[in-house]
């Protein structure tokens, strides 16, 4: 029997959560294992019931008696260190440049907008992409993030991003945690390196990034006798 993809949802809007659950559980390969309304419930829930992907709202309250926003920019890197295989997808109504940049640099695997129906109607597919070490951005958030990188003269792959892709090509079955160990950096930092490379190359997964980087001559090409992806 194929193991189901486990999803946890942190969002304080019940109707929104129910909508996500309905969309996800239409797919027999996905199981929603936890639903939380407050940020302080998340870490205990993951200890009690491990998840592969967390859907996270950026403005969820910290607790029932603390309505201030849960500090996700602090929490995301810590969660990734504690749960190396966990992927985090932020779903928000806010398209603020600084917030998008901060969330992605904290180690999230994607940032999609709640009014992006073209993506949300395929939420199960998005979750599978995220779980497979891919990245997912709404077109608006992609444009905002890429514009930020371009304005800061970061639209070209950095040497460190090329190194991460080169290692990925050499060790195609390595997890992001494995790559982090080889690069001697934190897990969230390795994920951020890869995801910046994906955005710059306009792809959403590791295999496509490696193929395009090779095509552009940015990393070592295939040996003449090697099968291409």
pLDDT tens column, 34-53: 999 999 999 999 999 999 99
CB-CB neighbours of 143 under 10 Å = 12
What would the mean pLDDT of 117-138 be, rounded to a whole number? 93
| pLDDT(118) > 80 | yes
156-215 carries CATH number 3.30.450.20 = no
List where CATH 1.10.10.10 sits in the chain: 156-215
- pTM score, whole prediction: 0.82
**5-149: CATH architecture:** 3-Layer(aba) Sandwich (3.40)
Widest Cα–Cα separation across the chain: 63
Share of the chain above pLDDT 70, in %: 95
pLDDT reported for residue 153: 67
End-to-end CA separation in angstroms for the chain: 29
161, 201 Cβ separation under 8 angstroms: no
154, 101 Cβ separation under 8 angstroms: no
List where CATH 3.40.50.2300 sits in the chain: 5-149
Q: In 119-205, which ranges are E strands?
A: 136-137
pLDDT reported for residue 177: 87
What would the mean pLDDT of 46-74 be, rounded to a whole number? 93
């Amino acid at each position: 029997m194929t193991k189901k993809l486990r999803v946890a949802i942190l969002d304080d809007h019940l109707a929104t959560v129910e909508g996500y659950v309905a969309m996800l559980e239409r797919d027999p390969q996905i199981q929603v294992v936890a639903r939380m309304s407050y940020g302080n419930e998340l870490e205990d829930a993951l200890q009690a019931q491990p998840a592969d992907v967390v859907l996270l709202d950026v403005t969820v309250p910290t607790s029932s008696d603390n309505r201030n926003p849960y500090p996700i920019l602090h929490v995301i890197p810590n969660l990734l260190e504690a749960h190396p295989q966990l992927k985090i997808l932020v779903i928000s109504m806010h398209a603020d440049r600084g917030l998008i940049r901060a969330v992605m640099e904290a180690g999230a695997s994607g940032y999609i907008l709640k009014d992006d129906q073209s993506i949300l109607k395929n939420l199960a597919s998005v979750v599978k992409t995220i779980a497979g070490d891919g990245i997912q951005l709404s077109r608006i958030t992609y444009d905002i993030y890429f514009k930020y990188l371009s304005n800061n003269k970061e639209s070209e792959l950095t040497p460190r991003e090329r190194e991460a892709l080169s290692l990925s090509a050499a060790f195609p079955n390595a997890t992001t945690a494995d790559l982090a160990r080889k690069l001697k950096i934190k897990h969230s930092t390795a994920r951020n390196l890869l995801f910046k490379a994906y955005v710059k190359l306009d792809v959403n997964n590791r295999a496509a990034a490696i193929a395009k980087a090779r095509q552009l001559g940015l990393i070592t090409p295939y040996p003449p006798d090697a099968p291409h992806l």
